[in-house]
């Protein structure tokens, strides 16, 4: 990560609303030390000072647009910081474990560019993600990656694979499998590219919508031995309870030594402003329970929160900023608290 992208104390204060007698997360978290010469040294220094989780923002929406979808996912990081950093740091949450690193920013291409150029830009973004996340994991920190499209799952899985030297298990809370054809990079095929390159050991989807995935995608999932608990099975047919579905997969992953990636596409949350907003998905509290279950495993190597898009809120961008920011803050806090119990 370039030094110019590091979050500074001055930037952080613009997100804070300080009250006398209270300590906010943004007043207790760590930042990269500007006295350090490079990103790797700054990460090692923060780890030595007690940081466990490194927050990284990705400010882009080219992945969803390259998938013929809506933009807006470039606004999630800012929304998350406004909410998360103003929560209280108290006996329930030790904010000194959080390291606010910086952002991966994408300024190209424009909305008028061709589909081919968008997909080429996503491939370039993959390399930026890998270069940023690899040293974070190598320094013993757990990345919490916020914002951007779900295309960035590929770079995260690739970086984790490079460091750990083995294929990852992955649970993805998502109505979409993101197993569209290998037709050039976009937000709809990151997991397919990862599976094709043998980055994935086991891939499980919670909340997959049976009618929002093509037969070709479902066939590709079967070819790669992926599994899923569909939205319809969990909520329409009640074939099993959410608790039963989660417990089955958690125990399966607990018995394996592979690193575990936790992926959340905010499309999976009912009526959440996102790139593919839906009212036929999971309640936020059920997603939080799922995060709690999987984050309690010691094998966890990262959390990815993708596709939140404040500008896609029907009530307007300010309302979307509040909703997306609050959801992201709750997901982050739940993840950290639950993983600390592992």
Secondary structure string (H, E, C) spanning 91-141? CCECHHHEEEEEEEECCCCCCCCCHHHHHHHHHHHHHHHHHHHHHHHHCCC
pLDDT value, residue 107: 75
- The whole-angstrom separation of Cα 286 and Cα 178 is 21
Q: Write out residues in the chain with pLDDT < 50, as ranges.
A: none
Contact predicate 32/43, CB 8 Å: yes
Number of domains into which the chain is organized: 1
Q: What is the DSSP string of 221-260?
A: HHHTT-EEEEHIIIIIS-SS-HHHHHHHHHHHHHT--S-E
Query: Could you give the CA distance from residue 129 to residue 115 in angstroms, rounded to a whole number?
Result: 21
Q: What's 306's domain CATH number?
A: 3.40.800.10
Q: What is the span of the domain harbouring residue 297?
A: 3-340
pTM: 0.97
Looking at residue 342, what is its pLDDT? 81
The per-residue pLDDT for 110 is 61
* Predicted local confidence at residue 111, as pLDDT: 60
DSSP state, 2?
-
Q: Are 140 and 44 in contact (CB under 8 A)?
A: no
Spatial CB neighbours of 297, under 8 Å, sequence gap ≥ 6: 250, 253, 254, 260, 342
For residues 310 and 333, give the distance between their C-alpha atoms in angstroms, rounded to a whole number: 20
Position of tokens 């406004």?
82
Alpha-carbon distance 330 to 234, whole Å? 23
pLDDT confidence of residue 5: 95
Closest to 173 in 3D by CA, of 245, 76, 72, 224: 245
pLDDT digits (tens, 9 = 90+) for 222-232: 999 999 999 99
């Amino acid at each position: 990560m370039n030094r110019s992208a590091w979050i500074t104390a001055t930037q952080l204060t613009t997100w804070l609303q300080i009250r006398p007698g209270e300590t906010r997360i943004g007043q207790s978290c760590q930042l990269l030390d500007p006295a350090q010469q490079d990103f790797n040294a700054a990460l090692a220094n923060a780890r030595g000072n007690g940081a466990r989780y490194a927050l990284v923002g990705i400010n882009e929406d080219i992945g969803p647009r390259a998938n013929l979808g809506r933009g807006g996912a470039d606004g999630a990081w800012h929304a998350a910081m406004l909410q998360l950093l103003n929560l209280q740091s108290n006996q329930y949450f030790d904010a000194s474990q959080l390291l606010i690193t910086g952002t991966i920013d994408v300024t190209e291409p424009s909305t008028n560019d061709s589909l081919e150029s968008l997909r080429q830009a996503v491939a370039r973004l993959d390399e930026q993600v890998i270069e940023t996340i690899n040293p974070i994991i190598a320094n013993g920190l757990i990345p919490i990656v916020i914002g951007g499209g779900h295309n960035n799952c590929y770079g995260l899985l690739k970086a984790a694979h490079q460091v750990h030297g083995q294929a990852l298990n992955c649970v993805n809370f998502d109505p979409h499998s993101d197993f569209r054809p290998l037709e050039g990079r976009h937000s709809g095929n990151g997991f397919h590219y990862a599976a094709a390159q043998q980055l994935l050991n086991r891939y499980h989807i919670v909340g997959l919508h049976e009618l929002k995935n093509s037969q070709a995608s479902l066939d590709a999932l079967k070819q790669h031995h992926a599994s899923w608990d569909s939205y319809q099975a969990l909520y329409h047919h009640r074939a099993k309870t959410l608790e039963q579905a989660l417990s089955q997969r958690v125990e399966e992953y607990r018995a394996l030594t592979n690193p575990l990636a936790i992926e959340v596409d905010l499309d999976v949350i009912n009526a959440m402003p996102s790139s593919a907003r839906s009212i036929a998905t999971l309640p936020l509290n059920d997603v939080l329970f799922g995060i709690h279950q999987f984050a309690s495993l010691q094998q966890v190597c990262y959390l990815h929160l993708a596709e939140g898009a404040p500008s896609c809120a029907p009530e307007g961008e300010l309302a979307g900023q509040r909703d997306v920011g609050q959801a992201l803050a709750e997901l982050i806090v739940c993840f950290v608290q639950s993983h600390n119990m592992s």
